[in-house]
Structure 1
Amino acid sequence: MTDPISDFLTRLRNASKAGQSQCVAPHSKMKESLATILKAEGFVRDVTTGTDERGHKTLVVALKYVDNTPVITGLKRESTPGRRVYFSYTDLPRVLNGLGMAIVSTSKGLMKDQDARRNKLGGELVCTVW
């Protein structure tokens, strides 16, 4: 697998569209911090870690629905392994004029675009969520 973050976002997108209650993905620190940001912003219900039958660590994300409609209506991977996208804090894009959010990888870790602007930190634009 060349892009595990894109794989994780695709798993979330597909599980959400299919009406699944949870999504299971291989664990990594970056995926876990991305999922905790989504939980803090109310896009998912819960994030836990577990193990599969072979003993590998997994990340279990409980998806959130309102009236059987998924809260996550869109996920887009912005920076890919073949094309990295970097922004300074003044140039960070607004997603749906502030209704969505962008997740930025900064020197202080992953954070949403509002926190990056507040802390005057730029970095790699990982994905956008709305």
Structure 2
Amino acid sequence: MQHKLCWLRGKGVTVNCPGGHEGCTASLPVHAPLSEYDMGKSIGTELALQNVLIKYAKTDGDGRSAAGIEDSLKILHPMWSVERLADPLHLAATQLSHCYNAKFSDEMFPGKTRLDKGKVKKILSQDVIG
């Protein structure tokens, strides 16, 4: 796990702060970027060293962790590939958001006020995702 948060400090966890204060639980320096790809690569390396191969990785829509897992596994198993599967919760939330934010004509939804029309638009968006 990679994080920069120090809120676990003093909770009985033995940690070394990367360049910060004593007792910090952060695993990255404050200025280091968080990278899903690097996290995936680290996970893939650990699994490859244990001879565990991953065929499917479920991530959010913009997740790069599956690519990191695949790249690390290919070092020991060059012909191996990892397929990224979309997380259904993230996928549904994205579809709901896109439908709700889509441009519709003012006459499409019944209601006297913008709030009333927004409620009907939300119901349509929820029906679209299923």
Q: Larger Cα Rg: Structure 1 or Structure 2?
A: 2
TM-score by length of 1: 0.27
Using CA pairs under 8 Å that are at least 6 residues apart, name the structure with larger relative contact order, 1 or 2.
1
TM-score by length of 2: 0.27
Select the structure that is richer in helix: 2
